[in-house]
Amino acid sequence: MVLPNSTKIKKQAHPKWNYFMLLLVVFGGFLIFGFSENIKGPAIPKMQSEFQLDEMQLGLLLAVNSLGYLIACSFTGLLSARLGIKWTAILAFSSMTISGVLMYLSTNYAFLSASYFLMYIGNGMLEIGLAIMAARIFTKNTGTMMNLSHFFYGLSSTVAPVIASSMMGWSVFGGELGWRGMYLVMLSLSLLPVIPSIMGKFPGDDQITSERIPLKQFFKDKVAWLIVALLSFGVVSEMAVGGWLVYYLEKAYGWSLDAASSMLSIFFLFFMLSRLFLGPVTDKIGYTLSIMLFAAFSGICSIAAILIGQKAAILFAVAGIGIAPIYPTVMALLAKRYPTSTDSAITFTVTLMGIASVIGNLLIGVIIDGVGEFFQGTHGASEGSLLGLQAGYGFIGLLALLCSATSAILFFYLRKRKELI
């Protein structure tokens, strides 16, 4: 009697152990992802100085990296269908570790660019891979768990620049660790999630290929295009804050770099806490409605901050509460909308979103310059520049409102078809 009972207990415990291993991969993967993307801030000036790079070479370095990221996003879904998400994840983590070694050994600009390109290939594979993984694992409370997963990305993104800056000054073997050693150490951490990846069994890897929706079918799906549109609007609005908020506060209000950076830190604090606590709300009221309400809140906060002026600057940070849940909630929506073809749905959506993000960020700069130059003749240089900045940052708020409007279209379309999630 003892043996059958103990065997039964062991069988019941195994799925829990496997789930724990998978959580380590997903949460650990998002931590690594956040670190790898955001340690470059303190490192880039050091690289520029060592290799004597001009701004054009630096811009080309970052542009090539974005290209590598988009290329990886385009093939990772197919790779996961062929190799399985387990080995796709292991390959992504391993490529990032190798890129860290190559960066440490880089001796010239071309070598550095190739190393960085490989890292962003790994980053792109990791983003798609983790999204597919999370969609397969979190079949219950999907919105909550997706937001919690992305909380770990936000956490590591927030502390990454501080840690990277500190590490570069460490004394190792009588010398300074520097940017090379920092990248080597930080990217070597990518090997840690490989251990639970090998030990865990990932659901969906044995799924019959015929059950999947071909990628080309998504090009004919109206819902898929609406999701691409709302995610593109939301993500460009989210990412633009990191690039433009400090600049806006410095130029428009004359804030010091420290004061403006502090406001950006508050934005990321609200951003992180939102993903930690608002996930259950998305499961309760529905994913499409959640995106519509959160995006509207973010857009209203940003535009109100501009219209009211400096005394309402805190609203720039508060906008992070609304914009933070957009990306993970869309991933939850894709998981529920396309349960047998989540990998194809995520590949289609994120790849097109990446292209839209490049265009969107360019537009912000064009609007700031264009509007500023247009009004300088009639309002003076100072007033014209301010109007340009307001127009550019207003466009960031407008993108959040467009995300909300697109979500509303999707909401009523799905409700009419009785397919609301």
Residue 167 and residue 32: Cα distance in Å, rounded?
16
Residue 202 and residue 222: Cα distance in Å, rounded?
31
For the segment 397-407, the average pLDDT, to the nearest whole number, is: 96
Task: Quote the percentage of the chain above a pLDDT of 70.
Answer: 94
Residue pair 326/291 in contact (Cβ under 8 Å)? The answer is: yes
Residue 294 and residue 183: Cα distance in Å, rounded?
36
The whole model's pTM is what?
0.84
pLDDT of 275-290, one tens digit each?
Answer: 999 999 999 999 999 9
Partner residues linked to 176 by β-bridges:
171
Residue 80 and residue 58: Cα distance in Å, rounded?
33
Structural domains in the chain plus CATH codes = 2-201 (1.20.1250.20), 217-416 (1.20.1250.20)
Q: Band of the pLDDT at 209, cuts 50, 70, 90? A: low
Q: In sequence order, which residues have a C-beta less than 8 Å from that of residue 381 and are 6 or more positions away?
A: none
Give helix then strand counts, H and E, for the chain: 16, 2
Residue 247 and residue 257: Cα distance in Å, rounded?
9
Residue pair 271/380 in contact (Cβ under 8 Å)? The answer is: no
Computed over every residue of the chain, the mean pLDDT equals 87
The HSE-up count of residue 7 (CA atoms within 13 Å, CB side) is: 4
DSSP code string of 144-167: HHHHHHHHHHHHHHHHHHHHHHHH
Residue pair 344/218 in contact (Cβ under 8 Å)? The answer is: yes
